[in-house]
Amino acid sequence: VFTSGATEANNLALKGVAEAAWERGDPRRGLVTLASEHRAVLDPLQWLSRHGFRLTVLPVEADGLVDPQRLAAAIGPDTRLVSVMAANNETGVLHPIAEAAAICRAHGALLHVDAVQAAGRMPIRLTELGCDSIAISSHKIGGPMGVGALLLAPKHSHIPALIRGGGQERGRRGGTHAVPAIAGFAAAVSEIVAEDRLGALRDMVESAAIAAGAEPVSVDAPRLS
Ligand SMILES: *Cc1c(COP(=O)(O)O)cnc(C)c1O
């Protein structure tokens, strides 16, 4: 589903799931996320927590990663949805999405992944990650602003619209498609898949900072390369 950006894609995934729960009379009201998520995830979840849902915000460990055991302990029979980002926008750490997906599946909870920072830097496949939805953004991979997308697993493809009207995106997002922006997004995807310059840039910035006297911080957690 093409959206105006990842903020809208995250809102669609999170609030859409809640709306689906209301429509189908699903009694589960538990939502779980991480304290290090982007505001585009935390804000809609906090809004939901003021409208009948119960939100658990888990801390991350010293290395910036969620502890899978802590995650498993937070998910219970009342958990409707879990939201865990693929790569953090400040530290670049990669959360164990496939592991989180297995935990969610075991409890019948949905897993939404904000993959804005991971997209274009590592493979993002719904089937491999095992999650139910993925939010991505064009301008974070060098494409134009004003477009993003929500990727939906087939069993989760009937998410109710946030923006209604016109029936576009099979009724999941009303409004005329921003075709020029979407074409630019596609061009950016093709280009970024072909290059890998961010890891080298990150290493350059870190070694320059250390040469200038910054304390080296060793991070063992998996990070974007
Ligand atoms: C930038 C960013 C967003 C928001 O994306 P927009 O397309 O600007 O709405 C969401 N999540 C993460 C992790 C981001 O870095």
Per residue in 4-56, pLDDT (tens digit) is 999 999 999 999 988 888 888 889 999 999 999 999 999 999 999 999 999 99
Q: How far is the CA of 118 from the centre of ligand 1 (A)?
A: 11
Q: Which two tokens stand for residue 54?
A: 């119960």
* pTM metric for this prediction: 0.89
Helices 6-24 & 39-49, crossing angle to 10 degrees? Answer: 30
Pairing verdict, β 54-58 and 30-34:
parallel
Contacts of 102 (CB under 8 A, 6+ apart): 130
Question: What phi-psi label fits residue 167: left (phi over 0), alpha (psi between -120 and 50 degrees) or beta?
Answer: left
Q: How far is the CA of 41 from the centre of ligand 1 (A)?
A: 9
Flag whether pLDDT at 222 surpasses 70: yes
Question: In which band, very low, low, confident or very high, does the pLDDT at 118 lie, cut at 50, 70 and 90?
Answer: very high
Angstrom distances, CA of residue 125 to CA of 2, 82, 182 = 17, 18, 20
Per residue in 12-24, pLDDT (tens digit) is 999 998 888 888 8
The pocket around ligand 1, CB under 6 angstroms, is made up of 5-7, 38, 40, 85, 89, 114, 116-117, 137, 140, 148
Q: What's the pLDDT at 195?
A: 67
Q: Cα-flanking dihedrals φ and ψ of residue 55, to 5°?
A: -105, 130
Q: How far is the CA of 145 from the centre of ligand 1 (A)?
A: 11
Angstrom distances, CA of residue 87 to CA of 43, 122, 172, 187 = 18, 10, 26, 22
Q: How far is the CA of 108 from the centre of ligand 1 (A)?
A: 27
Residue of 147, 91, 88 whose CA lies nearest to 118: 88
Atom of ligand 1 nearest to the CA of 5: 7
Atom of ligand 1 nearest to the CA of 139: 7
Q: What's the pLDDT at 198?
A: 64
Q: Cα-flanking dihedrals φ and ψ of residue 2, to 5°?
A: -75, 135
For ligand 1, pick from 1, 2, 7 the residue to mutate: most ligand atoms within 8 Å of CB.
7
The torsion angle over the Cα atoms of residues 65, 69, 70 and 71, rounded to 10 degrees, is 80
